[in-house]
Amino acid sequence: MLKGKKIILGITGSIAAYKSVFLLRLLLQEGAEVKVIMTPAAKDFITPLTLSTLSKNPVLTELFDEQSWSNHVMLGRWADLFVIAPLSCNTLAKMAQGICDNLLLAVYLSATCPVAVAPAMDEDMWKHSSTKENLQRLKSFGNSIIPVGNGALASGLHGEGRMAEPEQILEFIKEHFSVANELQGKKVLVTAGPTYEPIDPVRFIGNHSSGKMGIAIANELCNRGAEVTLILGPTKETVNNSRISIIKVTTALEMYEAVENRFDITDLTIMAAAVADYTPVKQATQKIKKHEAGLSLDLIKTRDILKAIGERKKSGQILVGFALETNNETEYAKEKLVKKNADLIVLNSMQDKGAGFNHDTNKVTIFSKDQVFEFETKTKQEVAKDIVDTIIRLYYA
């Protein structure tokens, strides 16, 4: 099943490191080629000799020694998958912050392959808010988290935080490779975030879109093997997935031009951005001063990007739009499907709790011309998976 797959197994300083030996053996039995990287702390728990003997490859721990330098960039490019098991709390925090003080972290930061981590820690550490936040950051970078188990812990206590068993990690890896390539060779365009329409040098017309949903979709598409370009409006969110090409834009016009430039060579376009419908006719060159009288702004309509590319769509190109509605959701969503010549419309209802702008969760319904797919409230990463699964099932299975 894993024949010919190149895997880097990263091991960090945790008592669960002894289980990595079993994981390594399972990966080798499945035909994978494995290179092992250890953090310095991991060597306190398990010897490199055991791992190098089993993997038939030298175990790498240092960025450089007196004689040589480990090419972390090439390692990250060599691998089809980088699995860090166990992932300690300390390495997790460093990964979340972009710290690079050992070889494992340097490979992580330069890896172009997907990354999966299997955390291992005591329950209290596992439940700490900083751990949750750090894991959330890793997810936002497009990394996969292998769920922890429940049971006996190194502290002698019982609870959540045990590293998943080697067999479970192997299943996760097999599953990853069975779905990872569904969109191999497909060029995908995703728009995300708001647009800002300048009024004067200090003010703009914008909206509350955080860009999280579109970024989660871009990450998911990337994990399925697609070549992803993300056209991103102004957002505080960071996208640290080096496999995604990012084009930053500010206005609706800039977003239109970026989409238009790339649309013809794109197989799948997902328009998750909340594009401004109106923009000021004129942008004042100096700050507008206040006066006793009120202020009226003349606005003109922006180009409807989705509609414009819908009109140009050729056979084989798939177009997915979003609809954000506060009322008559179904009717408006179906109307957008026809008006914009989209293949699917993903409806975000503002009426559902935990859905819409600035939440980490969302609830969507997907409309095609003849089917409706309803989903529960889920994290935006899970919603992204549902959306991508639906697209693959309908058009690429």
Which residues of the shown chain bind ligand CTP in the complex (CB under 6 A)?
252, 271, 273, 275, 277, 302, 304-306, 321-324, 336
Q: Which residues contact 315 (CB under 8 A, 6 or more apart)?
A: none
- DSSP states of 222-276: HHTT-EEEEEE-S-S-----TTSEEEE--SHHHHHHHHHHHHTT-SEEEE--B--
Distance CA 141, CA 220 (A): 11
Take residue 6 and report the two structure tokens written for it: 């190149």
| 125: enclosing H helix or E strand | helix 123-127
Distance CA 184, CA 29 (A): 26
Q: Which residues contact 190 (CB under 8 A, 6 or more apart)?
A: 214, 217, 218, 221, 228, 229, 230, 231, 269, 270, 272
Q: 126-159: string of b/e by CB count within 10 Å (b at 16+)?
A: beeeebeebbebbbbbbbbbbebbeeebeeeeeb
Considering the complex, state which of residue 131 and residue 235 has its C-beta at the smaller distance from ligand CTP: 235
Considering the complex, state which of residue 114 and residue 321 has its C-beta at the smaller distance from ligand CTP: 321
Considering the complex, state which of residue 167 and residue 331 has its C-beta at the smaller distance from ligand CTP: 331
Cα 240 to the chain's mean position, in Å?
9
Q: 113-125: string of b/e by CB count within 10 Å (b at 16+)?
A: bbbbbbbbbbbeb
Encoded amino acid at 205, one letter: I
**CB-neighbour burial class of residue 267 (10 A; exposed 0-12, middle 13-18, buried 19+):** middle
CB of 190 to ligand CTP, least distance (A): 10
Considering the complex, state which of residue 5 and residue 336 has its C-beta at the smaller distance from ligand CTP: 336
Report CA-CA distances (Å) from 215 to 139, 221, 230, 305: 11, 10, 8, 19
Considering the complex, state which of residue 187 and residue 339 has its C-beta at the smaller distance from ligand CTP: 339
Q: Which residues contact 226 (CB under 8 A, 6 or more apart)?
A: 183, 184, 186, 187, 188, 268
For ligand CTP, the nearest residue by Cβ is 305
Encoded amino acid at 104, one letter: L
Considering the complex, state which of residue 36 and residue 252 has its C-beta at the smaller distance from ligand CTP: 252
Active site includes 207? yes
Report CA-CA distances (Å) from 183 to 187, 211, 243: 9, 23, 14
Distance CA 299, CA 197 (A): 10
Considering the complex, state which of residue 119 and residue 211 has its C-beta at the smaller distance from ligand CTP: 211
CB of 216 to ligand CTP, least distance (A): 15
CB of 370 to ligand CTP, least distance (A): 20
Q: 90, 207, 240, 341: which one is catalytic?
A: 207
Q: Which residues contact 370 (CB under 8 A, 6 or more apart)?
A: none
Considering the complex, state which of residue 37 and residue 309 has its C-beta at the smaller distance from ligand CTP: 309
CB of 264 to ligand CTP, least distance (A): 17
Cα 311 to the chain's mean position, in Å?
30
Indicate which residues carry an active-site annotation.
207
